[in-house]
Chain A
Amino acid sequence: MGMVNLAFLIVFPVVAAGVLLLVRNNRARSVVVIVSAAAIMIASAWLAVGHLFSETWYPPFEGEWVTILTLVIDVLCCAYIIVKGIRHKKPLAVALAAVQTVIIVAFELLIAHGMTIENNLYVDGLSVIMTLIIGVIGGGICIYALGYMHDFQVHEDDNDKPDRRPVFFALMFVFLSAMFAIVFSNNLTWLLCAWEVTTVCSFALIGYTRTPEAIDNSFRQIVMNLIGGLAFALALVYLGYSGILELDKLIAQGALGGLVIPLALLAVAAFTKAAQVPFQSWLLGAMVAPTPTSALLHSSTMVKAGVFLLIKLAPCFGWSYNGIMVVLVGGFTFLFCSFLAVSQSNAKRVLAYSTVANLGLIVACAGVGTPEAVWAAIFLLIFHAAAKSLLFLCVGTAEHHIGSRDIEDMDNLFVRMPILARLMALGMLCMFIAPFGMLISKWATIVSLVNTDNILLLFILAFGSAATFMFWAKWLGKVLAIAQQDPDVEKTVHPSEWFSLALMAALVLLLSVGFPFLSEFVVVPYLAHFAADILPGTTVWWGSISATIDFDNLIIMAVIVLALIAAFAVQFTRPKKPTASVYLAGVALDAEKRTYRNSLNGETQTTQRNWYLDGWLGEKTLEPIANIISILLIAVGLACSLLVTGGVL
Chain B
Amino acid sequence: MITVNETPVRTARNFNINNVKLDELEIQEEIMPFNNFKINNNSVLSSENVSNSNLIYGLGDKLENQVKVNSNKKVKIVINKNYAEPIELEFELDENNSNLVENIEIIAEENKKADVIIKYKSNNIDNLYHNGIIRVFAKKDSCIDISVVNLLNENANNFISIENELEENAKINYCIVDFGGKNSITNYYSNLKGNCSENKINCIYLGKENQLFDLNYIGELHGEKTNINIEVQGALKDSAKKKFKGTIDFKRGSKKSKGNENEFCMLLSDTAKSLALPMLLCDEEDVEGNHSSAAGKVDNKQLFYIMSRGFDYKEAMKLIVKARFNKILESIKDAKLKNEIIYEIDNRLD
Chain A partners chain B: no
Q: Which residue numbers of B lie inside 8 Å of A, CB to CB? A: none
Which residues of A pack against B, CB within 8 Å? none
